[in-house]
C-alpha cells in the first residue's frame, strides 16, 4: 500500500465518521437490508482529492469503502446485540 493509499484511507475514515447521517444511513441499510448509496457529490464537497482518488482508482476505492463499512457494520452489530442482551465479539455472538 502506497503512502497516498494510506492517506486516502485515513481521509475516507474521517469522511465516514464525521459526515452527518452516514452512520444512521448505514444502520438503516443493515437493519432493513436495503441498498446503501454513496453520493459522490457529497464526497466531493467534503474532500475533492479523495473523490478524485476513488474515481481514478475505483477498485482501490471500493476496497477501502468495503473495509471501513465492514468495520462499521461489526461495531453496529455489537451495539445492537448489547441492546438485545447478547454478548458479541467482532459482530459474532459469544458465550458468557
Question: Could you please report the per-residue DSSP string of 33-68?
Answer: T------HHHHHHH-HHHHHHHHHSHHHHHHHHHHH
Whole-number pLDDT of residue 10 = 94
Task: Please tell me the total count of domains within the chain.
Answer: 1
Sequence-distant (6+) residues with CB within 8 A of 56 are none
Whole-number pLDDT of residue 58 = 93
| Spans of the chain, pLDDT less than 70 | 80-96
Whole-number pLDDT of residue 88 = 59
Pairwise CA distance, residues 82 & 96, whole Å: 12
**By residue range, what is the domain housing residue 63?**
3-93
Does the predicted TM-score (pTM) go above 0.75?
no
Amino acid at each position: 500500500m502506497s503512502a497516498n493509499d494510506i492517506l486516502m484511507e485515513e481521509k475516507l475514515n474521517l469522511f465516514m465518521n464525521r459526515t452527518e447521517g452516514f452512520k444512521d444511513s448505514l444502520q438503516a441499510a443493515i437493519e432493513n437490508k436495503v441498498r446503501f448509496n454513496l453520493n459522490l457529490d457529497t464526497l466531493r464537497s467534503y474532500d475533492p482529492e479523495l473523490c478524485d482518488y476513488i474515481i481514478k482508482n475505483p477498485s482501490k476505492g471500493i476496497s477501502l469503502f468495503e473495509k471501513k463499512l465492514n468495520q462499521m457494520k461489526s461495531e453496529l452489530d455489537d451495539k445492537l446485540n448489547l441492546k438485545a442482551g447478547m454478548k458479541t465479539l467482532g459482530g459474532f455472538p459469544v458465550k458468557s
